[in-house]
Amino acid sequence: MRKRNRLSAQAYIDGVLNGDRVILSQAITLVESALPTDQVLAEEVMDAVLPHAGKSIRIGITGVPGVGKSTFIEKFGWLVIEQGYKLAVLAVDPSSQSSRGSILGDKTRMEKLSMDKRAYIRPSPSGTTLGGVSARTREAMLLCEAAGFDVVFIETVGVGQSEIAVKGMVDFFLLLMLAGAGDELQGIKKGIIEMCDALVINKADGDNKEAAQRAKREYANALHLFPAKENSWNPKVKTCSGLSGEGLPEIWQMIQEYRDLVYSNGFFEFNRAEQRANWMHEHVKYLLETNFYNDMAIKKDLDESLADIKSGKVSAIKKARALVQLFMNQILR
């Protein structure tokens, strides 16, 4: 394997804190690496930049494929930077490690935003587990904050398990919807609705305006059926057009109102503290799994017994217990 060129820890730290976009990208690549030597170096870099992070507002943006997330983020992101903010956009795609298709496509579609120096778009590949997604995306987010970006969008592709991971990283969770797509109310998972702080009906333009207004009323009525949130915020329903930009200023104003509320009632810091604790637990799981499957004795045992497990000759549950015991014995030696 060709040896990868790496900077010193101090070069990464200085570059990130000085807002050097090239070194920021290299630092994110470093924290995404699974190589043990890179992980040690990444931990040193993260420890140093962490005190300079945490000052942004973190916004999760999700929605089913075809809802217009890229167009929305391009136009909404432009509105944010025009108000004097520096914006980082991180894309989370559980399939990107193998395909890389969708999030690289997103960056292409956000051509205007990606060329502006006030914005930074990063297609971050996921790990093999949701824990890997969370750890890598959090670290990328913190590096962006340390580099001076004061608004961070985390975009997810589709509506599924990755939303749960992203919800645990952000301050505000925005769900994009379509009107007239047959998914009003009954078709959307209750869990996703419960997680969102705002439900935004996109593509509310042209002949679709009337349908968008109807969907807005239906969703607003449905949200009243959910229990009150512990942050004292009542989730809002908005309409917008990611194409024309209509409705986007009102969405940004809503996010500002949300931030003012959770700052004043103490929920903002409480939520951040809970997220830091969860990050630690998730990273413990990630490290344990990584060390387990990288253990030579485990690899050898799996290579020898996997065919019997697949054929059903060996119980998967019994074998899993035996493998864990083997791993523990390796540790206790």
How many angstroms separate the CA atoms of 282 and 134, rounded?
A: 8
Q: Could you report the per-residue pLDDT of 284-302, keeping only the tens digit for each?
A: 988 899 899 999 999 999 9
If one counts every other C-beta atom within 10 angstroms of the C-beta of residue 145, the result is 23
Q: Which residues, 6+ apart, have CB-to-CB distance to 62 below 8 Å?
A: 69, 155, 156, 158, 159, 163, 166, 173, 174, 175, 176, 192
**Mean pLDDT throughout 94-120?**
64
Residue of 228, 229, 219 whose CA lies nearest to 183: 219
pLDDT value for 190: 62
Q: Does residue 57 have a pLDDT over 90?
A: yes
Lowest mean pLDDT among 28-37, 179-188, 315-324: 179-188
Tokens of 124: 């971050």
Q: Could you report the per-residue pLDDT of 236-281, keeping only the tens digit for each?
A: 999 999 999 999 999 999 999 999 999 999 999 999 999 999 989 9
Angle in degrees, CA 282, 288, 289, rounded to 5 = 90
The mean of the pLDDT values for the chain is: 86
Which of the two residues, 129 and 294, has the higher pLDDT score? Answer: 294
**Mean pLDDT throughout 57-76?**
90
Which of the two residues, 78 and 112, has the higher pLDDT score? Answer: 78
Helices and strands (DSSP H and E) totals, the chain: 14, 7
Is 219 in contact with 201 (CB distance < 8 Å)? yes
pLDDT value for 222: 81
- Report all structural domains of the chain as residue ranges with CATH numbers, in order of start: 1-52 (1.20.5.170), 53-265 (3.40.50.300), 295-332 (no CATH)
**Mean pLDDT throughout 100-119?**
68
Q: Which residues, 6+ apart, have CB-to-CB distance to 132 below 8 Å?
A: 126, 286
pLDDT value for 74: 93
pLDDT value for 136: 83
How many angstroms separate the CA atoms of 151 and 162, rounded?
A: 21
Residue of 142, 55, 23 whose CA lies nearest to 90: 142
pLDDT value for 96: 44
Q: Which residues, 6+ apart, have CB-to-CB distance to 312 below 8 Å?
A: none
If one counts every other C-beta atom within 10 angstroms of the C-beta of residue 224, the result is 8
pLDDT value for 193: 77
Q: Does residue 221 have a pLDDT over 90?
A: no
Distance separating the N- and C-terminal Cα atoms of the chain: 30
pLDDT value for 35: 87
Q: Does residue 229 have a pLDDT over 80?
A: yes
Q: Could you report the per-residue pLDDT of 2-40, keeping only the tens digit for each?
A: 456 799 999 999 999 999 999 999 999 999 888 889 999
